[in-house]
Amino acid sequence: MTTRRDLNELSALGSRAVELARAELEAFFYGLDLSKPELARDALLEFMPMLAQEYGDVAATAAAEWYEAQRFAQIGGSYQAVLADTVSVGQTQGSVRYAAGHLFGDDPSQTLALLSGAMQRFVLYGARDTIARNVGRDSARPRFARVPTGAKTCAWCTMLASRGFVYLTRETAGIARDHYHDDCDCQVIADFSKDAAHIEGYDPDGMYDMYLAARQAAGSGDQKMIAAEMRRMFPESFTDGVAGN
């Protein structure tokens, strides 16, 4: 059974890769001549995809090793985990084009802040997608869950985390792959045991109750509307709760 400790180990590996990538990004950024915004932007357009790829691979490799170790500890046998692709050049360059507007404004450091947030998502994509991909192809048919690692998370992630441990199907794939926001601390983890999975501090049933109540109040199956309703109904439960209505 995968435990909170195993989860923490995986997220520490991801965080380490993110930290290194951010440090390199920061050093590169402050080496730019910010008095020439076009040139600075072009340099970032080249650098950002390389950095995201390099550390996305680091995170993917760490996640693959984690997966193999968990699998061996829980059911034995051998399995070679595959790595996720890294995020596309187009996606990383899109984030640069978006953030680069601030290079032409009063506070170019905003560009770095935005790119640093995006970098976290790009690097962790390598880890999350590696776990999801192996869960989908492993003949041992493990289950997976999307688990927030902080004490509180946003309504959207809580909604996805409320599904608990599930098999990867076309229907559930989005839980593993979709809609990670910048600075999202959710981790995709795998569980190989047939027993009821339990991660200390992760209560998918409680989350699911909130989801169902909000779904009923929203009168819709639309996930965005349900998440918005969750924010209003349970403001204390989320980092983005909406108080006072």
Sort strands 187-191 and 143-147 into parallel, antiparallel or unpaired: antiparallel
Instruction: Select the residue whose beta carbon is closest to Zn ion and give its number.
Output: 157
Closest distance to Zn ion from the beta carbon of 141 (Å): 25
Closest distance to Zn ion from the beta carbon of 123 (Å): 15
Return the bridge partners of 189, or none: 145
Closest distance to Zn ion from the beta carbon of 132 (Å): 15
Q: Is 227 in the site for Zn ion (CB under 5 A)?
A: no
Cβ neighbourhood burial of 188 (10 Å; 0-12, 13-18, 19+): buried
The pair of structure tokens assigned to 70 is 């968990």
Closest distance to Zn ion from the beta carbon of 159 (Å): 10
Residue type, 230: M
The pair of structure tokens assigned to 141 is 């048919």
| Cβ neighbours of 205 (radius 10 Å) | 8
Q: Is 230 in the site for Zn ion (CB under 5 A)?
A: no
- Applying CB under 5 A, among 186, 190, 207, 227 the residue interacting with Zn ion is 186
Q: Mask 130-159, x = binds Zn ion (CB under 5 A)?
A: -----------------------x---x--
For Zn ion, the closer CB: 54 or 182:
182
- Applying CB under 5 A, among 87, 112, 159, 184 the residue interacting with Zn ion is 184
Q: Is 17 in the site for Zn ion (CB under 5 A)?
A: no
Site for Zn ion in 103-122 (CB under 5 A): none
Question: What's 219's DSSP letter?
Answer: T
Return d(Cα 84, Cα 122) in angstroms, integer. Answer: 12
Count of residues in contact with Zn ion, rule CB under 5 A: 4
The residue range among 82-90, 181-189, 216-224, 227-235 that interacts with Zn ion, by the rule CB under 5 A, is 181-189
Q: Give, for 191, the enclosing helix (H) or strand (E).
A: strand 187-191
Name the CA radius of gyration of the chain, rounded: 19
Q: Is 59 in the site for Zn ion (CB under 5 A)?
A: no
Helix (H, G, I), strand (E, B) or coil at 71: helix
Instruction: By CB under 5 A, name the binding residues for Zn ion.
Output: 153, 157, 184, 186
